[in-house]
Amino acid sequence: MWCRKLRQESWRANLDVAMSTYLDHAATTPMSDAARLAMIDELGNLGNASSLHASGRRSRKVVEEAREAIASAVGATPGEIVLTGSGTEANNLAVKGLYWKRIQEDPANNRIISSSIEHHAVMDPIQWLVDHEGAEVTWISVNDRAQLNVEELVAEIERDPKVALVSIMFANNEVGTLQPLVRVIEAAHKYGIPVHTDAVQAFGKVPLSFKELDLDAMTISGHKIGGPLGIGALIVKKNLKLTPVLHGGGQERDIRSGTLDTPAIRALGVAATEAAEQLTERALRMVELRRELTARVLAEVPDARANGDELTLPGIAHFTFAGAEGDALLLLLDAQGIESSTGSACSAGVPRPSHVLLAMGMSEVDARASLRFSLGFSSTSQDVDALVSVIGGVVERARKAGQVSKR
């Protein structure tokens, strides 16, 4: 109950978000100026990219230019880009579309291999296939730094290669750990098994090339890279067959029906180009800022623990503040104008620990005492200063609140 109460109080107290210090860029990051201006400009234009007249052709040209820009940014060809309404939709299309196609080819191919730290946008469609379509799933474990246990994955494939697909995220959204995809792809391709990766967090943050990795399907999302919300893409290797999830007008090579959102697609193209061109510069800045943030938070709260791995996304700093509830920390920080994330769900007043942290072997209590700060290309050292100026007091208050609620 306290979780809901704190949230309500915080809503009332802190409606003015304009002054906030935003440290939740992994949830969503601001649109870049260029992407925003492109979108605003395009919103003033008329045209359905499927229409044959002049307005339609103009809209189609915008879409195809954006598709080229996205393809070049992810190391794919334009024909491999299937535009979707979100990263979640792209993940659903990859998981369900590949599963249905593969069991149509051979009904024995009903196994799915994935990891225990996937985003719910991968886990839940897989679980849905298990519950409703006769799929079997193996969730591969990770170590205490959220690195995939590749030996376990290889052994699972070797044990029974009748696998519909392997889906392993490129980088984890909570602690940032990068996954050993090269070995995953090698092991799966030995048996002709397609590999999908959810690269929603990795795209624009670390170098990646769809072609060079020899991936079969890869998900990206606009709002994590400075593009708009509500636009994403599934990159699908040429000649790889997928059963559509959305049926209708046959857009996107019949893989994803629905009128194309030209303004959002144009803006995604702009954001993707910027993300690729400025990748090194942005990443180096974020790494520097994250180092500063981590060192200064640990100096303020010496018994805090920094989680994750060295091979991590540049902008994610994740901590456990033992003895404090993550949701209390989040809301106390929010009341001070600092926005962060727990990665767990505080629904119906009951805080639930993150499945990612539990999979890393954390106790429920420690998992609930954890918080993620994530940086973006617009983050500054003033953001770090603001956090550092309050974190010590906030942790102390949250720990005291925890002791009181236990009495």
What are the residue numbers of the active site? 346
Nearest to ligand PLP of 32, 110 (CB atom)? 32
Q: How far is the CB of 360 from ligand PLP (least distance, A)?
A: 16
Tally of CB atoms within 10 A around 242? 24
Positive or negative: CA dihedral 169, 170, 176, 178: positive
Candidates 343, 327, 324; CA nearest to 392 is: 324
Nearest to ligand PLP of 343, 402 (CB atom)? 343
Q: How far is the CB of 359 from ligand PLP (least distance, A)?
A: 14
Nearest to ligand PLP of 169, 330 (CB atom)? 169
Q: How far is the CB of 369 from ligand PLP (least distance, A)?
A: 22
Tally of CB atoms within 10 A around 299? 12
Residue with the shortest CB distance to ligand PLP? 87
Nearest to ligand PLP of 110, 173 (CB atom)? 173
Q: How far is the CB of 179 from ligand PLP (least distance, A)?
A: 11
Nearest to ligand PLP of 88, 138 (CB atom)? 88
Instruction: Tell me if residue 297 falls in helix, strand or coil.
Output: helix
Residue in the block written with tokens 């600092």: 338
192's torsion region: left (phi>0), alpha (psi -120 to 50) or beta?
left
Cα angle, residue 74 at apex, residues 45 and 254 outer, rounded to 5° = 60
Instruction: Tell me if residue 68 falls in helix, strand or coil.
Output: helix
* Cα–Cα distance, 368 to 13 (Å, whole number): 24
Q: Residue 236: in which H helix or E strand, if any?
A: strand 232-236
Q: Residues 369, 327: contact at Cβ < 8 Å?
A: no
Candidates 243, 237, 231, 189; CA nearest to 217 is: 237
Q: How far is the CB of 354 from ligand PLP (least distance, A)?
A: 12
Nearest to ligand PLP of 210, 390 (CB atom)? 210
Q: How many residues does the chain have?
A: 407
Nearest to ligand PLP of 220, 388 (CB atom)? 220
Show Cβ contacts of residue 282 under 8 Å, excluding neighbours closer than 6 positions. 204, 205, 275, 314, 377
Q: How are beta strands 232-236 and 81-84 bridged, if at all?
A: antiparallel
Q: How far is the CB of 231 from ligand PLP (least distance, A)?
A: 8
Candidates 71, 297, 95; CA nearest to 203 is: 71
Q: How far is the CB of 202 from ligand PLP (least distance, A)?
A: 8
Where do contacts with ligand PLP occur on this chain (CB under 6 A)?
86-88, 91, 119, 121, 169, 173, 198, 200-201, 221, 232
**DSSP assignments along 169-226, one per residue:** -SB-TTT-BBP-HHHHHHHHHTTT--EEEE-TTTTTTS---HHHHT-SEEEEEGGGTT
